[in-house]
Amino acid sequence: MLPWPATGQPTLITERWDRSVDAFAFTPDSRTIFLIAEDRGLDRLFRMPAEGGEVSPAFEMTEGGYAGLEIAGKATPVIVANWGSMTRPPDVVAIDPAAGKHRPLSDFNADRIARIDWQPPRHFWFTAKNGRRIHSLIVLPPKFEPTKKYPLLIFPHGGPNNMSKDQFFLRWNYHLLTSLGYVLLMTNYTGSTGFGEEFAAAIDRDVLRGPGQELLEAAEEAIRQFSFIDGQRMAAAGASYGGYLMAWFEGNTDRFHCLVNHAGLTDNVSMWGATDGAYYWELRNGGPVWEMKGQWIEQSPMRYAANFKTPMLITHGERDFRVPISQAFEMYKLLQRRRVPVRMVIFPDENHWVLSGENSRYHMQEVLGWLKKYLD
């Protein structure tokens, strides 16, 4: 809150609230602020007094997420936002906080949604060996039968300061990844947003080893909890930081039948010299690159190349400046040198993400083809 005219310092009215605000809007009487923030796998709606105070959920939510919040009206406020979920592309809704629900104002995709065999994700939690409570989402394949056994595909989010959540997503669409008959596991490892600042920041002290271990433990917990998962058939895929994790898995576990690595890091040192975000990596890895302290070497995937043995698909955009294409070449060369099955697909006109429609189709075709080769 800023004084006006500007004669003093701003006041942080959500300082004691351990979430990051994505959107906010005032009620017409200016007494209440409604907020949207990532929280435990959803984009939830919260409320607080405009002068500051306790932030509380507007109502209990069990699926989906809100965005684009607006409030209009005078005597009777009208709260409008977009709402969507994994099985509902976003539509405009009118929110009734008192009733704890919303009603749709648009419904553009009803006919198409009705033709797709999909289900909302399942949420589950477990306590990792490091003592942290870890949240995950399970996405089921089409024509799901609980008495059958399905291969498990691990899909950690990128960032790493991001969150796997119940949202509709085109790039790396979750249900498309399950379409060949796989169960998808998306785990919010240490470093994820939506679980508090301390949880998100803790990854700076352990960039790969801890999160990687949490992902493996989440897989074992999913196998234990859900009898329809075939724990003997597992693969993992990731992009950006998720691809970095795939490079880490390559040298630190033999649990997977295959890996898919999009725009992932291979060597911390050469990455620092080429990326557009060098100082960020000094903060994350524990000091200047020339000192080689902290995680620069100990948690660099290349260091573990002697252990490489899992078949890997590498995809990368040639115009990627965040994770330059040299990282893909390094991983490809190491895998060839170790005589590990590897395929590399380069998109000359793409950057950190594969964005064009035709390239996206081809990319997913490559990803699903690689998974099918090693999981079926």
Q: In this predicted model, what pLDDT tens digit does every residue of 330-349 receive, in sequence order? A: 999 999 999 999 999 999 99
Neighbours of 353 (CB within 10 A): 19
**Phi, psi at 267, each rounded to 5°:** -135, 120
Instruction: Using the predicted structure, report yes or no on whether residue 78 has a pLDDT greater than 80.
Output: yes
What does the pLDDT read at residue 357?
94
Answer with the residue of higher pLDDT: 75 or 132.
Answer: 132
**150-196 pLDDT, tens digit each:** 999 999 999 999 999 999 989 899 999 999 999 999 999 999 999 99
Cis-peptide into 5, omega within 30 deg: yes
Task: Report the SS3 class of residue 222.
Answer: helix
What does the pLDDT read at residue 282?
86
Instruction: Using the predicted structure, report yes or no on whether residue 121 has a pLDDT greater than 90.
Output: yes
> Residue 123: CB partners within 8 Å, gap ≥ 6?
41, 135, 136, 137, 138
* Residue boundaries of the structural domains of the chain: 21-112, 117-375
**Phi, psi at 34, each rounded to 5°:** -95, 140
Mean pLDDT of 281-299: 87
**208-231 pLDDT, tens digit each:** 999 999 999 999 999 999 999 999
> pLDDT tier at 86 (50, 70, 90 boundaries)?
very high
Q: So what's the architecture of 117-375 in CATH? A: 3-Layer(aba) Sandwich (3.40)
> What distance in Å separates the CA atoms of residue 113 and residue 4, rounded to the nearest whole number?
49
Mean pLDDT of 17-29: 93
Q: How far does the chain reach from its first CA to its final CA, in angstroms?
A: 57
Mean pLDDT of 110-138: 96
> What distance in Å separates the CA atoms of residue 170 and residue 243, rounded to the nearest whole number?
18
> pLDDT tier at 6 (50, 70, 90 boundaries)?
confident
